[in-house]
Structure 1
């Protein structure tokens, strides 16, 4: 499978590819001010002691923030994409299974960098984790990188 382009994502944000597809992240809504996604947790997301591995939250935060940043860049006409340069995640409550919701919201959006908050909640709306992901805006090659 080839890599998903920003345009592909904008045309069909629910079509997970790559790591997002492997982990089970599903985008349910997206616009220039953030996205909402769900993730059905199971044993494949566990660390050795039966709870969700902290790296799951970090990885999902990185992906969700990067997608949010790329959508904003395209919405404003700046173009390009955004890549993570710092990911700070606090783990608030452990869980083993169930559907969690992921929501991104912008803290700062500039020409060169962006900062996004990513919040994780369980089915009862209780906070599970909170991330801040700093993104670097980058230009894409004129040929799409091919």
Structure 2
């Protein structure tokens, strides 16, 4: 996807796939910084992403984090030759959230030729850290 504008990349990401888990959870890509190689998205916290105690389900946080981590890798590789797939995720749920919107930002910790490691921070509207995730993607030949 390199070489495209920020707007084109965000439009592509938000329309990618017809019926996906990211769409079910209403994940929306909101920003990409091509120079610093970061990607940001939001997800509403509402009953469909709650666990039985009425707070954000850790699995929903993992879906948001993995969606960003995988997308980040696939944006910054030559998609005509390679694709990135998640192979490991480690997620720490640090604070509960009942409603509102969470914002996640992914950035590379390491960007190699065959492996990417990223970190994803999920924050609430006040900027409080809700979740910290690290993710590994293998970069595979098409």
TM bucket, shorter chain: 0.7 to 0.9
1:4-23 equivalence runs, <5 A: 10=9, 12-15=12-15, 17=17, 18-23=20-25
Superposed CA deviations along residues 87-121 of structure 1, whole A, max 9, x for unmatched, are 00001100111011010010001011000000000
Instruction: Tell me the TM-score normalised to structure 1 length.
Output: 0.83
Give the Cα separation in 2 of the matches to 1:68 and 1:16.
14
Residue ranges of structure 1 left out of the alignment (5+ in a row): 1-5, 141-146
- Per the alignment, in what secondary structure is the counterpart of residue 73 of structure 1? coil
What is the aligned-residue RMSD (CA, Å)?
A: 2.1
2:71 equivalent in structure 1: 67
2:104 equivalent in structure 1: 102
Instruction: Tell me the TM-score normalised to structure 2 length.
Output: 0.85
1:1-146 equivalence runs, <5 A: 10=9, 12-15=12-15, 17=17, 18-32=20-34, 33-74=37-78, 79-140=81-142
- Report how far residue 80 of structure 1 moved: 1.5
Give the Cα separation in 2 of the matches to 1:92 and 1:16.
30
Where has structure 1 moved over 3 Å in runs of 4 or more? none
- Report how far residue 54 of structure 1 moved: 0.4
Residue ranges of structure 2 left out of the alignment (5+ in a row): 3-7
Q: Give the number of aligned pairs.
A: 132
Superposed CA deviations along residues 28-81 of structure 1, whole A, max 9, x for unmatched, are 11244120101111000011111111001111111110000011113xx88422
